[in-house]
């Protein structure tokens, strides 16, 4: 933890940084199978096949994010929220290794030191809110599906991925002029987290992504020179 009395913030990616699963897709599988059984499993596999094909074809992650949320068109916000609460209750208790413990301990240490904790994710509020309560996060910066009359439209506001993460974190930092970004921390595991990691004085790579580590080191060197 930093040896400073100045206020600071900690920004943390979620999937494969704080938890071991990809929350969007794990929840999609959970709710489809719970509601529709075998038909839900088959629908999930069809969605994932298209998702994998898009990724292999180099479709931007932001567009894949939009594709994911199109599958919630006309879904009740309350129904999805209730299912997400059940998903989190089951997964966080019954799934061995649900949390990446090193990150969870680090975030708890920052909280104990008085830092504000902000989760930053391409996932969406129903999935992230129970997690935020569990780890004591003060805010969530995430992709927000458009809602009309209590139902999802299938569209989203700006996906909080890559440059979307940068913009979201920059906006949050702008709302806290008492905080110096150089005192802040950010945790991420993927190259798409790099724009967020570049904004703080203490970026932390979770996992063994060699390219992410190399790119971050290169950026730090260019800043110093």
- CATH for 9-224 is 3.40.50.1000
pLDDT (mean) for 194-205: 95
What is the distance between the alpha carbons of residues 137 and 141, in angstroms, rounded to a whole number?
11
Burial of 9 (0-12, 13-18, 19+ CB in 10 A): buried
145 phi and psi angles, rounded to 5 deg: -60, 145
Residue 219 scores a pLDDT above 80: no
pLDDT for residue 65: 95
pLDDT for residue 94: 67
The whole-model pTM stands at: 0.92
**pLDDT tens digits for 55-106?**
999 999 999 999 999 999 999 999 999 999 999 999 987 667 899 999 999 9
pLDDT for residue 225: 59
Q: Across all residues in the chain, what is the average pLDDT? A: 93
The three-state secondary structure class of 136 is coil
**pLDDT tens digits for 152-167?**
999 998 999 989 999 9
**pLDDT tens digits for 43-56?**
999 999 999 999 99
What is the distance between the alpha carbons of residues 179 and 176, in angstroms, rounded to a whole number?
6
pLDDT (mean) for 130-151: 97
Residue 118 scores a pLDDT above 80: yes
Q: State percent of the chain over pLDDT 90.
A: 84
Q: Would you report the helix, strand and coil content of the chain in percent, each value rounded to 5?
A: 55, 15, 30
The distance from CA 44 to its chain's CA centroid, rounded to whole angstroms, is 21
Give the N- to C-terminal CA distance of the chain in Å, as an integer: 26
What is the distance between the alpha carbons of residues 29 and 20, in angstroms, rounded to a whole number?
15
Residue 23 scores a pLDDT above 70: yes
């Amino acid at each position: 933890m930093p040896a400073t009395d100045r206020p600071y913030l900690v920004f943390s990616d979620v999937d494969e940084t704080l938890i071991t699963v990809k929350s969007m897709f794990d929840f999609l599988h959970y709710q489809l199978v719970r509601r529709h059984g075998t038909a839900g499993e088959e629908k999930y596999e069809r969605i994932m096949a298209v998702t994998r094909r898009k990724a292999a074809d180099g479709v931007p992650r932001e567009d894949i994010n939009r594709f994911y949320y199109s599958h919630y068109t006309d879904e009740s916000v309350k129904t999805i929220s209730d299912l997400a609460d059940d998903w989190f209750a089951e997964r966080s208790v019954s799934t061995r290794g649900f949390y990446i413990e090193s990150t969870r301990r680090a975030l708890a240490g920052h909280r104990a030191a008085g830092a504000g904790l902000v989760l930053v994710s391409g996932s969406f509020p129903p999935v992230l809110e129970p997690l935020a309560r569990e780890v004591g996060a003060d805010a969530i910066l995430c992709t927000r599906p458009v809602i009309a009359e209590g139902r999802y439209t299938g569209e989203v506001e700006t996906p909080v991925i890559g440059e979307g993460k940068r913009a979201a974190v920059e906006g949050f930092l702008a709302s806290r002029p008492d905080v110096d970004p150089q005192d802040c921390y950010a945790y991420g595991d993927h190259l798409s987290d790099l724009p967020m990691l570049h904004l703080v004085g203490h970026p932390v790579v979770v996992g063994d992504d060699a390219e992410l580590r190399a790119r971050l080191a290169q950026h730090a060197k260019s800043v110093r020179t």
